[in-house]
Amino acid sequence: MTKPLVAVLSGAGISTDSGIPDYRGPNGLWRRDPEAEKLVTYGYYMADPEIRRRAWRMRRANRTLRAKPNAAHEAVTELERSGVPVRVMTQNVDGLHQLAGMPARKVLELHGSARSFVCTACHARGPMEDALARVEAGEDDPPCLECGGILKSATVMFGERLDPVVLGDALAIAKACQVFIAVGTSLQVQPAAGLAGVAADHGARLIIVNAEPTPYDELADQVIREPIGTSLPELLRRLAADGGAPAGHGT
């Protein structure tokens, strides 16, 4: 018998145990420092060299590249290794699903990756460590070595569109899956949040694992408010034991 496809949509909450702060939560960076949002807003970034210099300083201090996967990331990988078909769609840019051993081809990074840089002119890419090494060496706004254009993190900034190919693949998975788990996401940022509704509309069992209520809770078959680091591994172990088949209903 074919095992059901499990889709996992992960947000910032899955990575807080790895030391990466939640940007939108009650104590999130955007609430504490509204000016910081300009550093990741495309229009401001492209127009103002000082914004870019501040952004590069922020990247140097960023804990994302030093973070390690936690029990929740590892549990997703363990489910995939158990033989259950798993696809991850993540709103995070930290690359921790892949570091936990999830095959890169099975992870869709909806908002890009902080582990790479990209040129805004010629679209050349490279490891973020290479760009940060240039900053360390004294270049406060390093230009592209290929064309001299402006470099940025390979993340989707405010004011940029999501990659239509990645979003299209995510929609196809949401429509095809039998189980859709939204974990650590407020389900408020579109279009990624809408994937939960698409999955539910196409008959998937919707499970939401998040500390705070989300707009999709009423559609969910199961809502889990317990800490992600313990509740997600437990949920996925049960799924693996059931071969990916949805468990009984409940909240």
Q: Which residues are catalytic?
A: 111
Cis check: omega of the bond before 246, within 30 degrees of 0: no
Place of tokens 């996992």: 8
The radius of gyration computed from the CA coordinates of the chain, to the nearest angstrom, equals 19
Helix axes 164-176 and 194-201, enclosed angle (nearest 10): 30
Cα torsion for 14, 16, 17, 20, to the nearest 10°? 120
Pairing of strands 151-155, 112-119: antiparallel
Give the integer Cα–Cα distance in Å for 125 and 120. 10
* One-character DSSP codes across 12-37: GGGTGGGTPPPSSSTT-HHHH-GGGG
Query: Cα torsion at 69, 70, 72, 78 (round to 10°)?
Result: 70
Tell the burial category of 236 from Cβ atoms under 10 Å away from its Cβ (0-12, 13-18, 19+). Answer: buried
